Amino acid sequence: MTTQQIIEQIKFKKSFLTIGLDVDLEKIPTHLLQVEDPIFEFNKAIIDATHDLAVAYKPNIAFYEAYGIKGWISLKKTINYINEKYPEIFTIADAKRGDIGNTSSMYAKAFFEDLQFDSVTVAPYMGKDSVEPFLAFENKHTIMLALTSNDGAFDFQTLLVNKDQQEKELYKEVLETSKKWKNSENLMYVVGATKAEYFAEIRKIIPDSFLLVPGVGAQGGSLAEVCKYGLNSNIGLLINSSRAIIYASNRTDFAKKAREEALKIKQKMEVILQANL
Ligand SMILES: O=C(O)c1cc(=O)[nH]c(=O)n1[C@@H]1O[C@H](COP(=O)(O)O)[C@@H](O)[C@H]1O
CATH of the domain at 113: 3.20.20.70
User: Which pLDDT does position 276 carry in this prediction?
Assistant: 83
Inter-residue contact 6 to 118 (CB < 8 Å): no
* 169 DSSP assignment: E
pLDDT at site 5: 98
> What pLDDT, on a 0 to 100 scale, did the predictor assign at position 63?
98
Please say whether the beta carbons of 149 and 194 come within 8 A.
yes
ipTM exceeding the 0.85 mark: yes
Q: How far is the CA of 174 from the centre of ligand 1 (A)?
A: 19
Q: How far is the CA of 253 from the centre of ligand 1 (A)?
A: 25
- What's the pLDDT at 55? 98
Contact residues of ligand 1, CB 6 A cut-off: 20, 22, 60, 94, 121, 148-150, 190, 192, 214-215, 217-219, 240-244
Ligand 1 atom nearest residue 92's Cα: 3
CA of 245: how far to CAs of 63, 146, 166, 239, in Å? Answer: 16, 25, 43, 13
Is 198:157 a contact under the CB 8 Å cutoff?
no
Pocket test for ligand 1, best of 17, 21, 22, 57 (most atoms within 8 A of CB): 22
| Ligand 1 pocket mutation pick from 21, 120, 149, 246 by most atoms within 8 angstroms of CB | 149
Those residues of the chain that have pLDDT short of 50 are none
Task: Check if the beta carbon of residue 16 is closer than 8 Å to that of residue 55.
Answer: yes
pLDDT at 277: 73
| Whether the Cβ atoms of residue 115 and residue 144 lie closer than 8 Å to each other | no
Instruction: Give the distance (Å) from ligand 1 centre to CA of residue 193.
Output: 10
Q: Best substitution site from 18, 19, 46, 60 to test ligand 1's pocket, by max atoms within 8 Å of Cβ?
A: 60
pLDDT, tens digit, 9 for 90 and up, residues 213-253: 999 988 999 999 999 999 999 999 999 999 999 999 999 99
**Nearest Cα residue to 188 out of 209, 219, 161:** 209
Q: Whose CA is nearest to atom 11 of ligand 1?
A: 214
Distance in angstroms (rounded) separating the CA atoms of residues 21 and 59: 4
pLDDT at 142: 98
CA of 164 to the centre of ligand 1 (A): 34
Q: Report how many domains make up the chain.
A: 1
Helix, strand or coil, per DSSP, at residue 249: coil
Q: How far apart, in whole angstroms, are the C-alpha atoms of residue 159 and residue 214?
A: 22
**By CB neighbour count within 10 A (0-12 exposed, 13-18 middle, 19+ buried), where does 152 fall?**
exposed
Point out the ligand 1 atom lying closest to the alpha carbon of residue 147. 7
Tell me the residue range of the domain where 24 lies.
3-276
User: What's the farthest any 2 CA atoms get from each other in the chain?
Assistant: 62
Residue 163 has what pLDDT?
Answer: 87
Mode of pairing for the β-strands spanning 141-147 and 119-122: parallel
Torsion (CA) 90, 212, 75, 63 in degrees, nearest 10: -160
Q: What local confidence, expressed as pLDDT, does residue 121 receive?
A: 98
Continuous segment of H or E residues that includes residue 201: helix 199-205
Residue nearest to ligand 1 atom 22, measured at CA: 60
Enzyme catalytic residues: 96
